[in-house]
Amino acid sequence: MKQKFRFLSFLTRIAICVCFFLFLSQSHAQDSLMTRQKSEFWKKVRFGAGLGLGFGSEFTNISVAPSAIYDVNDYFSVGLGVQYGYVKQKNVFNSHLYGASLITLVNPVQEVQLSAELEQLRVNNTYSYMTPAVKDDFWSTALFLGAGYCAQNVTVGVRYNVLYKEADNVYSQAWMPFVRVYF
């Protein structure tokens, strides 16, 4: 089972690299043709970000997740995202999570957005309530399938992680609400 997830993790990294190089290749064209193509390309790119802050009694949760999508047409968009998260509960644990994701958005009608997001995270957990402290570092792969309601550039909905594993201590449950904004 562990080998299956290593292989999936390897495939995810390859897919992220391929998409990254496809985006980079868009910027290397001929002079005048490149200017026209590049301006047309960038007209279809939208940027967004997720920000999270949570503070409580001896608890901190901070996350940053910028992303960019390319509108292939009025119904279909693809993109990339990166993220970093820090979670700490004093004298219990702290965690650093960082990684990337591939994003696909489909709008069958203007008000409805369906999404698929393949996410690969590196998770570095330290459990300080144990003596000595225990470190748990691993890769986590998530595949979120979601649906939401769109109003202009904002989408509100819910997504489900079909690869959810409670033992990973990455997400507290498979279902997650979301708010997505792209400009």
Q: What is the CATH number of the domain that holds 157?
A: 2.40.160.20
Least confident residue range of 29-33, 70-74, 83-87: 29-33
- What pLDDT is recorded for position 138? 94
Mean pLDDT, the chain, integer: 85
Read off the pLDDT band of 5 (50, 70, 90): very low
Could you tell me how many residues make up the chain? Answer: 183
Looking at per-residue confidence, does 174 or 9 come out higher? 174
Residue with tokens 């998409």: 19
The whole domain housing 19 covers: 2-181
- What pLDDT is recorded for position 33? 59
Q: Say how many domains are in the chain.
A: 1
- Predicted TM-score (pTM) of this structure: 0.76
Q: Is the confidence at residue 68, as pLDDT, over 50?
A: yes
Q: What distance in Å separates the CA atoms of residue 121 and residue 165, rounded to the nearest whole number?
A: 14
Q: What distance in Å separates the CA atoms of residue 41 and residue 31, rounded to the nearest whole number?
A: 15
pLDDT in tens, 129-156: 988 999 999 999 999 999 999 998 999 9
Q: What distance in Å separates the CA atoms of residue 162 and residue 83, rounded to the nearest whole number?
A: 20
169, 159, 148, 165: which is closest to 118 by C-alpha? 159
- What pLDDT is recorded for position 167? 81
Q: With pLDDT > 90 as the criterion, what percentage of the chain qualifies?
A: 67
Q: What distance in Å separates the CA atoms of residue 180 and residue 7, rounded to the nearest whole number?
A: 30
Q: Is the confidence at residue 4, as pLDDT, over 50?
A: no
Degrees (nearest 5) of the Cα angle 150, 47, 120? 90
Mean pLDDT of 89-107: 95
Q: Is the confidence at residue 30, as pLDDT, over 90?
A: no
Mean pLDDT of 78-107: 96
- What pLDDT is recorded for position 10? 55
Read off the pLDDT band of 29 (50, 70, 90): very low
